[in-house]
Amino acid sequence: MGEIGSTSKRLKTSGRRVGGSVRRYDRKRPIADISSHRHHAAMTNHLSGVTSSTHGPGFALEAFSMTGHHEGSGWWNFDQLSENWIGTCRELIDHFGPNFDHSWTGALQQVRTRLTSTYGAATVTIFINDRSAASILILLGADPSVETSVAQMFVDALRSAIPEQLLGDSHNFSSVLSLEQRPVMMVVPFFDRDRSDSDGDIVRELSWHFTAAVLQSWSDRATH
């Protein structure tokens, strides 16, 4: 797994607080380019990575395709992840607070991360070159009513952002609302044929490590 310790030293803080929902998928792109189940399976498998069969401190991972289908489950232990990546993400959360839109610089200047959160429930969107690359829902299991509300907003935003021709069934993504394992990261990768493999790796790493940073920030808050 790649380390970003040296890279993070070159990154300058350039975050800004903004509102807004998931950026609508580029409807000028041919549906045929993004509708293949093979593409969806490849992306979700790429984001799932090599998860652990032993559940230590960490989080469940539930991967969904852009069509709204549940593609797979796994578990990430915190000790499988890079402390440098988690630390860099924690610095952003500690500096900007629970809601921000951050544009990275230096080696990651093509990346933006948007966090919208309250204690126990959060959404994260990762952008590459201002195109949505992954949407993430993080739930701790602290307050079911808050989780239900945030999860519904997450699903509504996805259904609004993804073309109807791709979604098809209006009930797609409904299983997001019924999965019970906590803590959990639910991730929906957005296919982009112009995205490089290296940028795909960045999306994958940030998805895992930003989730870990959010969960650990909540844990620290609960113990202080």
Provide the β-strand partners of residue 99.
Answer: 116
Distance CA(109)–CA(144), nearest Å, equals: 37
170: its two tokens: 């209006």
What is the pLDDT confidence band of residue 186, given thresholds at 50, 70 and 90?
A: very high
Q: Let me know: does 94 contact 184? Beta carbons within 8 Å.
A: no
What is the pLDDT confidence band of residue 164, given thresholds at 50, 70 and 90?
A: confident
Asked if the model's pLDDT at residue 139 lies above 80, the reply is yes
165: its two tokens: 């021709």
pLDDT in tens, 45-92: 445 554 555 678 999 999 999 888 899 999 999 999 999 999 999 999
Give the count of beta carbons closer than 10 Å to the beta carbon of residue 64.
25
pLDDT in tens, 190-207: 989 899 999 999 999 999
pLDDT at 6: 37
Domain ranges of the chain: 16-222
Distance CA(120)–CA(128), nearest Å, equals: 27
Higher pLDDT among residues 171 and 62, named by residue: 62
Distance CA(78)–CA(208), nearest Å, equals: 10
Cα end-to-end span (Å), the chain = 32
Give residue 182's identity as a one-letter amino acid code: R
pLDDT at 197: 93
Q: Let me know: does 77 contact 96? Beta carbons within 8 Å.
A: no
In sequence order, the 6+-apart residues with CB closer than 8 A to the CB of 149 are 121
- Using CB atoms within 10 A of its CB, is residue 9 exposed (0-12), middle (13-18) or buried (19+)? exposed
Distance CA(3)–CA(218), nearest Å, equals: 24
Asked if the model's pLDDT at residue 155 lies above 60, the reply is yes
Which of 17-21, 101-105, 108-112, 117-121 has the lowest average pLDDT? 17-21
Average pLDDT over residues 132-144: 96
